[in-house]
Amino acid sequence: EESISFVSLFSFMANTENVGFAKANNQAVRLSGGEYVLLLNPDTIVGEDVFSRCVDFLDTHVDAGAVGVRMLKSNGGFAWESRRGVPTPFTAFCKMSGLCKMY
């Protein structure tokens, strides 16, 4: 009975074809009805208290629209390739114009 109530907290979605990562995530977000949305890749290993810490952060910082976590490699080192900056018109211009590749 406990596992049934736990599973009922989640919604599952299946597409008949591979629509791509971004589109599938957008579909899932539109279908979600909860207070929070979690987008998690299937190869992710999550620490024991990560979700509760994220929810605590969002509950404390009500003006936050999203939360990201530190991603680590299997050796415990920081996964630099996972670091993303906040998009701005200037960064979009630099990427579209090719300036990012020059410097």
| CA 77 to each of CA 26, 43, 68, 83: distance values in angstroms, whole numbers, following the listed order | 30, 17, 17, 13
Report pLDDT for 16.
94
What token pair was written down for 25?
A: 């995530």
Q: Which residue has the higher pLDDT, 91 or 25?
A: 25
Task: Please give the mean pLDDT across all residues of the chain.
Answer: 85
Burial of 54 (0-12, 13-18, 19+ CB in 10 A): middle
Residue ranges per structural domain of the chain = 2-102
pTM above 0.75, yes or no: no
Assess contact for 65 and 76: CB atoms under 8 A. no
Residues forming a β-bridge with 72: 78
